[in-house]
Amino acid sequence: MAENILIINGAARKNGNTDMIIQKIIESSLNKDAKINLVILRNKKISDCIGCHLCHRKDQCSINDDMIEIFNSINKSDMIIFASPIYWWGVTGIMKIFIDRLYFYHSSNNKSLISGKKAVVVAPMNMKQDNYKTQLFINFYDILFDNLELVKCNTFLFDNVNEKGEILNNPDYIKQAHIFGKSL
Ligand SMILES: Cc1cc2nc3c(=O)[nH]c(=O)nc-3n(C[C@H](O)[C@H](O)[C@H](O)COP(=O)(O)O)c2cc1C
């Protein structure tokens, strides 16, 4: 059976490096049976988690917004690709709001809905990746995945890209996206 792949695009900038590299990944997988669902967070209405803990008392989230539809997509997926540029050595604001709402799955009521799924990190960034701050960024995702029992299977750090679309000037990055896309 084809794998259900959910791509969460947390880029704030339209047609930027994250958008471009995701497009390359998707294009590369076109001949495969994989079902790819791309969710662009900046086009969605997703409110902050308000910490009401309803998800821990019952199996539901108290906020009725676009995240409800995304919860359904997560439940059906086999792999979740977390794509966000690095902002202040973390993810973008909209990606963080999305991640906060994954608290729904931190509840023992709901953990089985996400546990065991594959996770992939895609992160364009301006700086060189060989510094301790990049490790902080990686640690953030590792802790998230540990808590949600997601199985990290790949991390793509596309460093030294800043201008819109600059990522496409790097043949190695295009190759990585192509190989990954083909593997889906
Ligand atoms: C608010 C802001 C914060 C950023 N913080 C970092 C950072 O901490 N480390 C880094 O390497 N790049 C940082 N960058 C650069 C972006 O990661 C880089 O420009 C990336 O290519 C943007 O991806 P996009 O084109 O998909 O928006 C920052 C950019 C912005 C706008």
In this predicted model, what pLDDT tens digit does every residue of 42-67 receive, in sequence order? 999 999 999 999 999 998 999 999 99
Over residues 150-168, the pLDDT tens digits come to: 999 999 999 999 999 999 9
72: confidence class by pLDDT, cuts 50, 70, 90: very high
Rounded Cα gap, residues 11 and 174, in angstroms: 18
List pocket residues of ligand 1, CB cut-off 6 Å: 11, 13, 16-18, 85-89, 124-127, 161-162, 164
Which of 162, 163, 166, 173, when mutated, tests ligand 1's pocket best, judged by the most ligand atoms within 8 Å of its CB? Answer: 162
Q: What is the pTM of this model?
A: 0.97
Instruction: Kindly tell me if the per-residue pLDDT of 92 is higher than 60.
Output: yes
30: confidence class by pLDDT, cuts 50, 70, 90: confident
Over residues 95-124, the pLDDT tens digits come to: 999 999 999 999 998 999 999 999 999 999
* Terminal alpha carbon distance of the chain: 12
Alpha helices in 7-154 (DSSP H): 17-28, 54-57, 67-76, 93-101, 103-106, 132-148
Domains with residue ranges and CATH for the chain: 4-183 (3.40.50.360)
SS3 30: coil
